[in-house]
Structure 1
Amino acid sequence: MELDNIECISLSDGMEEEEATTHHHHPFSKPHGGNGNHTNILSPIPPATSVHELLECPVCTNSMYPPIHQCHNGHTLCSTCKSRVQNRCPTCRQELGDIRCLALEKVAESLELPCKYCSLGCPEIFPYYSKLKHEALCNFRPYNCPYAGSECSVVGDIPFLVSHLRDDHKVDMHTGSTFNHRYVKSNPKEVENATWMLTVFHCFGHYFCLHFEAFQLGMAPVYMAFLRFMGDDREARSFSYSLEVGANGRKLIWEGTPRSIRDSHRKVRDSHDGLIIQRNMALFFSGGDRKELKLRVTGRIWKDQQNPENGVCIPNLCS
C-alpha cells in the first residue's frame, strides 16, 4: 500500500546537537623470562589475542564455548559446527569422534578479554565465558536501522543511522518537540500491512522516530501511530509523548513512553503500544462521504525531570 499524499508540518524549537565517541584500547602484555649466566630464553607467553585466535572455530569463525571438540590430530571446532561437517574434521578430513578438548576449555576459563565493542566506548573486561552474555546486552553495541517497511541490514551508532535514514531512506528530518501531520488515502478500504516512518525528530539532544502504520487487527482494519526513541531503554524512559487525532467534536488521545529502537517496529506494533484508530472511527474523523481518509495526527514530546524536593516527575517542555 502506498501513500497518496503526506503533508508534514513541524512546529520546531531550536536544539543543539552534541555527539561524542570515546575509544578505549586494552593493552596486552607479553612477558619474557631468562636466568643468570646461561642463555636460557623461555618461550614468550602468548598474548591473549593469540589465545583468542586458538579459540576461534575454523568453520564459523565464532568463539568456541564448551563443549569444544577435537579430532585425533588435535584440530578443534565448536559443537554447533561438528554436526554440520558430517562428522569429518574440516582441517584434515579425519573422522571426528566424541573427543573433548578439555585443555583448551580450561585455557578459555582463565582468560579475561575486553568487550568486542571496546572501540565503540565499552570499557569492560570479562572472563571469557561471561563475555558473550555481556556482548548480547552491551549498551555500546550497534543499533539496527529503525526504518520500517524494508529489511534493512545496516547497523551503527545513532549519528551514523541518522545520516543513513536521511541519505539512503530519504526520511524527513525535523527539529522540535511538537509535530502536526496529515495522512490522506484515496481508497481507505484497501488496508494492507504497511509501515511508514513519517519523520525523525531531533529534540532535547536526542532523536525520535514517528511511525504510522495500517494493518489488520484480527478481522478489523486499523491505523496506528507510535514513537520510538533512538537510544537505549533506560534513556527512553526519561521521555513521554502524546498523540492526538480527532474531528467533529471528538478526539482520541494517546500518552505514553517512547520505545527504544532496540525493540523492532513489529514488536511495538504487536504489543499495541501506541495510538490505535479503528477504520470506522478514522472515517468518521475524515467527514464527507467516507470515501477518502483524512487524518491529522498532532503530538508532543517532553522530558520528565525529577523534582528534588518531593520526588515528583515534572514535565520539561522545552530544552
Structure 2
Amino acid sequence: MAPGGGACKEVVKSVPTIADYDVGTTKSESSPTATRSSVTVGFIGKQEVHSNNGVYELLECPLCKTLMYPPIHQCPNGHTLCMNCKIRVHNCCPSCRYDLGNIRCLALEKFAESLEFPCKYQSLGCHNIFPYYSKLKHEQHCRFRPYNCPYAGSDCSVTGDIPTLIAHLKDDHKVDMHDGCTFNHRYVKSNPHEVENATWMLTVFNCFGKQFCLHFEAFQIGMAPVYMAFLRFMGDDNEAKTFSYSLEVGANGRKLIWQGIPRSIRDSHRKVRDSQDGLIIQRNLALFFSGGDRQELKLRVTGRIWKEELELQNKTV
C-alpha cells in the first residue's frame, strides 16, 4: 500500500507512464527569425508543442480527456486527475483505486507554464499560438469556434461552421429557406389556448449574402401567455450589430412595430427569448388581430432587414 493511501475498492492495473514526448524550442519569443527544433525533457524557456502524442497526453485528464488546469491532483502513486473528475470519482483514483487525498501535482502545473499550444480550432482557421494557461480563455471566445445549431425546441447537438449549419437546417430540420430582405409570414394555430404545446417555428433568410433566422413561438411571461417574434444572425455578434430589422403585426386599424438589432446565434435561443428582445404580442391582442370568433390564431407578421451603412448612404443621396 502506498504511504498515506488507503484502497477504495479492488486494485486495477495502473495506466502506463508516458515516457516519450516532443516539444519545440524557440531562441527568442520576440525574434522574427527564431528557429524551432524538436527536443525532449530538459529545456529552458517557452516551448511550443509539435506533437499530440506526448505532452498533450501528459496534461490530459485520463477520465474526461480534457486538458487539466490548476489545481491538478494526483494520488500517492502519481496518477493525475482534474479537479472536476476528482469530485466525480468521490476522491478515489480511477487508475489504482487509492484514496486521492489532497495532493497537488505542482511539478506538472509548473511544467505547463513553460508550454505553448495552438488553438484547438486550428483546423477551422485559427493559427495563433498561446501559453498553456491562456489557451482555454482564448478558445472560449475564438472567432473560429464552431456554432451551435440555432434550431429551437429540440436538443440538437450539431455544431459547425455556417455553411454546415445551413445544410443541416435544410436537410435535417426541414427549415424553410428564403432569399430576400423582406418577409410576410402568416402563422396559424387552431387552438391558441394551448400555449405550452405551441410548436417552434423557424425560417432562414439569405440577405446581403448572410443568413438570418426568424423565430416565432408561444410561451408565457409569468402567467401571461404571449407570442414572440425575433431575428438572429448566423455569425458573430460584432457583425450582427451592422444590421437592423423591423417586425410589424396588426389588423383592424391597429398595429405593433418592433425595430431592433439581430442577436448572434452565439446567444442561445432561450437567452434571446428570455431577454424579451423582440416583438411581443399578448395573446388577447393576437386573437383580436386574428379576427373571427377569437378561437383560432391567424397572425400575419411582416418585416425587413437592412444594413445600417447602406441605409445611411441612401438617406444622404
- TM interval, shorter chain, is 0.7 to 0.9
Moved more, 237-246 or 282-291: 282-291
In the aligned structure 1, how far is the partner of 2:133 from the partner of 2:197? 42
How far is 1:102 from its partner?
Answer: 1.4
How far is 1:76 from its partner?
Answer: 1.5
- The answer to whether 1:294 aligns with 2:298 is yes
Moved more, 90-99 or 75-84: 90-99
For residue 239 of structure 2, the aligned residue among 235, 240, 245 is 235
Q: Secondary structure, in 3 states, of the residue corresponding to 1:64?
A: coil
In the aligned structure 2, how far is the partner of 1:223 from the partner of 1:287? 16
Q: Tell me the TM-score normalized by structure 1.
A: 0.80
Conservation of the 8 A alpha-carbon contact between 2:60 and 2:66: yes
- The answer to whether 1:251 aligns with 2:246 is no
2:226 match: 222
In the aligned structure 2, how far is the partner of 1:29 from the partner of 1:251? 66
Conservation of the 8 A alpha-carbon contact between 2:23 and 2:40: no
- The answer to whether 1:199 aligns with 2:194 is no
- The percent of aligned pairs where both chains have the same amino acid is 77
1:1-319 correspondence to structure 2 within 5 Å: 29=24, 44-45=39-40, 48=49, 49=52, 50-192=54-196, 194-305=198-309, 314=312
Conservation of the 8 A alpha-carbon contact between 2:23 and 2:55: no
Conservation of the 8 A alpha-carbon contact between 2:151 and 2:202: no
Structure 1, gaps ≥5 residues long = 1-26, 32-42, 307-312
Q: Tell me the TM-score normalized by structure 2.
A: 0.81
Q: In structure 2, what residue type is equivalent to 1:221?
A: P
Conservation of the 8 A alpha-carbon contact between 2:198 and 2:217: yes
How far is 1:249 from its partner?
Answer: 1.1
CA RMSD of aligned residues (A): 2.2
In the aligned structure 1, how far is the partner of 2:128 from the partner of 2:83? 28
Q: In structure 2, what residue type is equivalent to 1:173?
A: M
In the aligned structure 1, how far is the partner of 2:23 from the partner of 2:210? 36
In the aligned structure 2, how far is the partner of 1:159 from the partner of 1:116? 20
In the aligned structure 2, how far is the partner of 1:76 from the partner of 1:210? 47
In the aligned structure 2, how far is the partner of 1:315 from the partner of 1:194? 42
Q: In structure 1, what residue type is equivalent to 2:122?
A: C
Q: In structure 2, what residue type is equivalent to 1:45?
A: T
Moved more, 187-196 or 229-238: 187-196
In the aligned structure 2, how far is the partner of 1:211 from the partner of 1:85? 42
Structure 2, gaps ≥5 residues long = 1-21, 27-37, 42-47
Q: In structure 2, what residue type is equivalent to 1:191?
A: V
In the aligned structure 2, how far is the partner of 1:172 from the partner of 1:72? 59
Conservation of the 8 A alpha-carbon contact between 1:195 and 1:212: no
Deviations 1:228-270 (A, max 9, x none): 1011111100100000111111111100000111111111111
How far is 1:44 from its partner?
Answer: 4.1
In the aligned structure 1, how far is the partner of 2:313 from the partner of 2:227? 28
Q: In structure 2, what residue type is equivalent to 1:102?
A: L
